[in-house]
Structure 1
Amino acid sequence: MRVGVPKEIKSQEYRVGLTPDGARELVARGHEVLVETQAGAGIEAGDGEYEAAGARIAPDAASVFANAEMIVKVKEPQAEERARLTSDHILFTYLHLAPDAPQTQDLIKSGAICIAYETITDDDGGLPLLRPMSQVAGRLSVQAGAQSLEWERRGRGLLMGGVPGVAPAKVAVIGGGVVGENATQIALGMGAEVTVLDRSPAVLERLSHRFGSSLKTVYSTKGSLEQVVLVSDVVVGAVLVAGAGAPKLVTREMVSGMKNGSVLVDVAIDQGGCFETSKATTHAEPTFVVDGVVHYCVANMPGAVPRTSTFALTNATLPYVIRLADKGWREALQADPHFLNGLNVVDGKVTCAPVAKSQNLPYVAPETVL
């Protein structure tokens, strides 16, 4: 199969869909890999490294799309990339379609086979291709929160961990999944006072066992959430409903009642955000202020550390890329119902139920299109 890797064009996105080592694995199995020139610059992987791995270098994105059968990316295709997709393409990347009707409509029109990293599942009920970026985003969220607390960034002027004789910042983490657990680890490591809210007693018990008495855990209800949010200096939104839009858990009224200079970090912004006042931002302008509260809502947070993120992502995605290349998309998805859950759009049909529901579109079960 001819596998294409275009350079990412989303604002301040420096990751790349495949490392040189990943390209080498595909070439060794008899596949062709076509990489857009300078696609790996953000991870310090030059064209020469990809060529040494057996890949060919394309002069531009148009050449990649015109010659590849499968497009492997990191972020959702931007409008100009979507215009290059055809029914001959397999698109394998993060899509986050639920809150993004324009992208969904373009992918429907393209006729391409669109497989989303974030809806592939595993035997444990997890999301194996979302997990590595959730780990990165969870850890970065607390760094972002700590920086946003600084006075020059319009925050409260607090040091996350305080100093002897001065209390640390209070951090609330909404959601105890992969993002929440990693955020908790970093916040506690920085010396903050941390409270995690979740609706699963099992999740709260697991986190309590891991972090001990230094962590406060609270069963999440509307009342308990409001109480914790209003006294917190930093709130990390770490909720996820696979494939669906994020629930708006923190209302505009709650935001207006928070302390001036406190910080909201919305890690769920790719799925529409879990704060009513959220809107997607970029690394160039990562924050905005509503009612005196600093909002950090960068939609590609792991892009800030592209080298770490790309290698972690390729570790997770490469086995799936190889299966698609070796077997073709139909056989690869037929052989694994968890992989099949990644199929979001095919032949102009929406095959991900949460996406169809979010946008009031007809839903077609993925099994029926194989």
Structure 2
Amino acid sequence: MLIGVPREIKEGERRVGLPPPAVRELVLHGHRVIVESGAGVGIGASDANYESAAAEIAAHPQDVWGQAELVVKVKEPQPTERKMLSEGQILFAYLHLAPDHEQTADLIASGAACIAYETVTDSRGSLPLLAPMSRVAGRLAVQAGAWALETTHGGAGVLIGGVPGVPPARVVIIGGGVVGENAAEIAIGMGADVRVLDIDPAALVHLEQRFGAAVVTVTSTRSALESEVLDADLVIGAVLVTGARAPKLVTAAMIETMRPRSVVVDVAIDQGGCFETSHPTTHAEPTYVHGDIVHYCVANMPGAVPLTSTRALSDATLPRVLALAENGLEALRSDSHLSSGLNVYRGQITEPSVAAAMGVPFVEPRTALAS
């Protein structure tokens, strides 16, 4: 199969769909890989590095999109890229379609098979292609929050870990999944006063067993959320509903009760955000102030550390890329976990949360693939 790796064009995105070692692995399995010139610059991989891995180098994006049977990238295709997507192609990337009606409409119109990393499952019911970036984003969220709390970046001037005689920052994490657990790990390591809210008792038990008295776990109710947000210096939104738009758990009224110049970091912004006052920002302009609260809402947070992120993502995606390259759509028919990643297929929406968000009928992936 001919596999295409375009250069990412989303603002501030420096990751790449496949690094040179992954390309070499695919070529050793008998596949061709065409990589857009400069695709690896963000991770320090030159065109020569890709050529050493036996990739073909394309001078223009159209040379990749126009030829590849399988397009492997990181972030959702931008409007100019979606125009180059065609019927019969397979797209494999993060898509986050539920809050993005325009992208969804374009993918439907393309007639392509569009597989979203974030809804691929595994035998344990987890999300193996979302988890690596969730770990990165959770860890970055605390770094970003600590940075934003500095007065030079708009914050109140609070040091996360405090110093002897001065208490540490209160860090409140909403959601105890992969993002929340990794955020808690870093916040604890920095010496913060850490609290995690979740509606799942099992998640709270896991966090308490892992971190002991270093974290306070709280069952998430509206009253608990209001109370914790009120006392926080930094609130991290780490909520995930697979494939769906994130619930707006923190209202504008709650934001108004927070301490002036405290910080919120919305890791859920790719799925629409879990703060009512959130809107996407970029690495170039990561924050804004709303209601005297600093908001950090970068929609591709792991792009800030592209080398680490690309390696972690490729480790997870490569076996699935190989399966698609070896077997094409048959890989989806034979693997229910991979087919759970199928969001759009030949004009049909095959992911229930996306269909609900769009207000259109949902078609089971197996039904769509059999038609």
The TM-score normalised by the length of structure 1 is 0.99
**Alignment partner, residue 198 of structure 2:** 198
Shift in Å, 1:359: 1.4
Per-residue CA deviation, residues 77-104 of structure 1 (Å, 9 max, x unaligned), is 0000000000021000000000000000
1:139 is matched with 139
Report what 1:150 is aligned to.
Answer: 150
Query: Which residue of 1 is the match for residue 364 of structure 2?
Result: 365
Residue number in structure 2 paired with 1:248: 248
**TM-fit CA distance, 1:361:** 1.5
Give the distance between the partners of 2:222 and 2:343, measured in 1 at CA.
32
Partner SS, residue 67 of structure 1: coil
5 Å-filtered alignment, 1:160-179, equals 160-179=160-179
**Alpha-carbon distance between aligned partners in 2 of 1:182 and 1:124, rounded to the nearest angstrom:** 20
* 1:35 maps to 2:35: yes
Matched residues in 1 for 2:61 and 2:294: separation?
A: 37
| Corresponding residue for residue 84 of structure 1 | 84
Q: What is the correspondence of 1:222-261 to structure 2 with a 5 Å cutoff?
A: 222-261=222-261
TM-score when scaled to structure 2? 0.99
Residue by residue over 1:15-47, the C-alpha shift from the partner in whole angstroms, topping out at 9 and shown as x without a partner, is 000010100011011100000001000000111
In structure 2, distance between residues paired with 1:88 and 1:122: 26
- What SS does structure 1 have at the residue aligned with 2:367? helix
The one-character-per-residue Cα deviations of 1:136-193 (angstroms, maximum 9, x if unpaired) are 0000000000000001111010110001111100000000000000000000000000
- How many angstroms apart in 2 are the aligned matches of 1:290 and 1:132? 31
Aligned equivalent of 2:10:
10
**Structure 2: how far apart are the matches of 1:366 and 1:313?**
24
Partner of 1:183 in structure 2?
183
Q: Number of aligned pairs?
A: 369
What are the equivalent positions in structure 2 for 1:1-150 lying under 5 Å apart? 1-150=1-150
Q: Percent identity?
A: 61
Partner of 1:335: 334
Unpaired segments ≥5 residues, structure 2: none
What's the CA shift for 1:13?
Answer: 0.3
C-alpha deviations, 1:325-354, integer Å up to 9, x for none? 00112x101111111100000100100000
**CA–CA distance in 1 between the matches of 2:106 and 2:62?**
17
Q: What is the CA–CA distance in structure 2 between the aligned matches of 1:116 and 1:214, rounded to whole Å? A: 36
Matched residue, 2:263: 263
CA separation in 2, counterparts of 1:101 and 1:46? 35
Tell me, which stretches of 5 or more residues in structure 1 are unaligned?
none
Cα distance in 1 for residues equivalent to 2:290 and 2:53: 49
